[in-house]
Copies of this chain bind each other. A is one copy, B any other.
């Protein structure tokens, strides 16, 4: 049994879910994986805020209190690229493995961070950065390692899918988006979601795992222009509209596309409802593998973070 200490950066929705899950699963993880996980310090912006289930004595507002405290693993859940990037760089320089759910940072600086982690002999776990609870990162890294991946296609933005699902019931775009925000799927500023950029970031991460080739074509269209008329016209033909994101091999590299598509009822992506996500991986030998599940939410995302913490602790 090895004791593993965790420094947690950020204690928002996913951070609190992670704290809850570590407590709940500790005994099972000890027994099954031989690691005894303990959260040692938690970086927050405001120490005085009420956080149910979180031990106040662990909180600090000073990042270095967490980063330089000798924790075995640093879990970054603050989001954004600037502070998060600086903290992760310092953790790597300190030779600590890092687990992050930060897709924006990986999309912006992934190759630099992975190279630095390699050079320092540590690992970056990032399962939670793409599609919440769906273990798509691990499936691409390991589960389908024996096969050449030809294409990946999916519904990977829960906010857009929730909005489109509500519009199918007659709700307007604006009302559906507000509802997504109230239910906590969409950020207060949902621009990255509805413009397709969030989906594009996720596909860039998946492409880097699946293909040893650069992205040479990009077309990213969001759902802002979709009206009730588009939805009705699709429905009249027995179809539905989904924001479909894809990456596929082309002659000179990889083509990335994010755009609303009309899908017939037999398409596995047509049946993805509300805030769920689905990813279809097409392997040359394996054929199509479909993975569906919760693409967001505190506990589903925290479960992906925790799986990564176990993986980096067991290396």
Contact surface of A with B, Cβ cutoff 8 Å: 17, 21, 24-25, 28-29, 31-33, 127, 133-135, 138-139, 142-148, 212, 268, 271, 283, 285-294, 297, 299-300, 302-311
Q: Contact at B307–A285, with CB atoms within 8 Å?
A: no
Q: Contact at B300–A133, with CB atoms within 8 Å?
A: no
Q: A212-B28, A271-B271 are in contact. Are A146 and B303 (CB under 8 A)?
A: yes
Q: A142-B311, A307-B147 are in contact. Are A299 and B286 (CB under 8 A)?
A: yes
Nearest 7 A-B pairs (CB), nearest first? A135-B143, A146-B306, A133-B286, A146-B307, A285-B299, A289-B293, A285-B303
A to B CB contacts below 8 Å, 12 in the list: A25-B146, A135-B144, A135-B289, A138-B138, A138-B143, A139-B143, A146-B303, A146-B306, A268-B292, A285-B303, A287-B294, A290-B293
Q: Contact at B303–A293, with CB atoms within 8 Å?
A: no
Q: Contact at A304–B146, with CB atoms within 8 Å?
A: yes
Q: Contact at A303–B290, with CB atoms within 8 Å?
A: no
Q: How far is A184 from B302 in the complex, measured between Cα atoms in Å? A: 43
Secondary structure at chain A's binding surface: helix, strand, loop or mixed?
helix
CB-CB under 8 A from A133, the residues of chain B are 147, 283, 285-287, 289
CB-CB under 8 A from A292, the residues of chain B are 268, 289-290
A304 (CB) vs chain B CBs: closest residue: B146
CB-CB under 8 A from A138, the residues of chain B are 138-139, 142-143
Q: How far is A143 from B303 in the complex, measured between Cα atoms in Å? A: 9
Q: Contact at B286–A142, with CB atoms within 8 Å?
A: no
CB-CB under 8 A from A24, the residues of chain B are 148
Q: Contact at B145–A127, with CB atoms within 8 Å?
A: no
- Write the nearest CB–CB distance from A201 to chain B, whole angstroms: 21
Q: Contact at B146–A135, with CB atoms within 8 Å?
A: no
